[in-house]
Amino acid sequence: MSTEKNIALEFNEFSKNYTSDMIACVPCYADLISSFIKYLPDNFQPERILDLGCGNGNVTSRLLSRFPEAKYTLVDASSEMIELCRKLFRDHDMSYANRYFNEFEFERDTYDLVVAGFSLHHCEDPEKRSMFRKIYSSLKRGGIFSYCDLMISKDHPEHPALLERWKEFVERTFPDGEKWEWIMEHYEAFDRPTNYPAQKEWIKDAGFSNIQTPFNKDFWVYLQAMK
């Protein structure tokens, strides 16, 4: 079975307790999700929004609180996550794509805002670079790309210490060690995090300007860039 199919199956299972698990297992999760509306310009009024790797809709839910009239497109490889979002947002103007990122067709000059919350770390470096170019192309002039994730490569000298701090965080809620073991199995099999400086250069090379990181704590980063 391909890695992509395995990822979809993993998140079908993970969908059952997604939000509570993310809060307990991802340092700064609440702060990072809040960043998607906290740091947008006050006068920014997007009409079309694309959520890449929507999960159970936590990022879109935040955006809806500020932009209830916008049209949303939600993309996720997990059919269970897409179904959760269909139920949650049934009263809103939403379209859905149960696709992997490399299968999704990015239309040129279409979106005012593209968001990716904890999803691009599944991409290898060449795919990330390609994704940044596609995202740039899909945005209208003046559009914004917002992105949060763990931004440290596994070969970074500080990566082992980061893992120790992360483990301590998780075991405050799950002291028996089983949850941390599951996270590390998933992390080794599916996650391909990349250092922030490299990603900043790739985003700049794609054409973006005004690249900012208003939230950056212990390699957990919220990034915002403009076309």
Name the residue among 203, 192, 190 with its Cα closest to residue 129: 203
Tokens representing 19 are: 């939000």
Question: What pLDDT is attached to residue 225?
Answer: 98
The number of domains in the chain is 1
pTM passes above 0.85: yes
> From CA 88, how far away is CA 72, in angstroms rounded?
13
Pairwise CA distance, residues 32 & 210, whole Å? 19
Domain range for 149 is 3-226
Residue 11 pLDDT level (bands cut at 50, 70, 90):
very low
Q: pLDDT tens digit string along 19-49?
A: 888 899 999 999 999 999 999 999 999 999 9
- Using CA atoms, how far apart are residues 225 and 82, in angstroms rounded to an integer? 27
Instruction: Residue 84: give its domain's CATH number.
Output: 3.40.50.150
Helix, coil or strand: residue 112: strand
Of 14-18, 133-137, 168-172, 181-185, least confident by mean pLDDT is 14-18
Phi-psi region of 55 (alpha: psi -120 to 50; beta: other; left: phi over 0): left
Let me know: does 76 contact 82? Beta carbons within 8 Å.
yes
Name residue 173's amino acid: T
Position 125 scores a pLDDT of: 97
Per-residue pLDDT, averaged over 67-93, amounts to 94
Mapping DSSP to helix (H, G, I), strand (E, B) and coil, where does residue 77 land? coil
> Residues in the chain, how many?
227
For residues 89-117, average pLDDT: 95
Mean pLDDT for the stretch of residues 142-157 = 98
For residue 139, how many other CB atoms are within 10 A of its CB?
A: 26
Tell me how far the alpha carbon of residue 176 is from its chain's centroid.
28
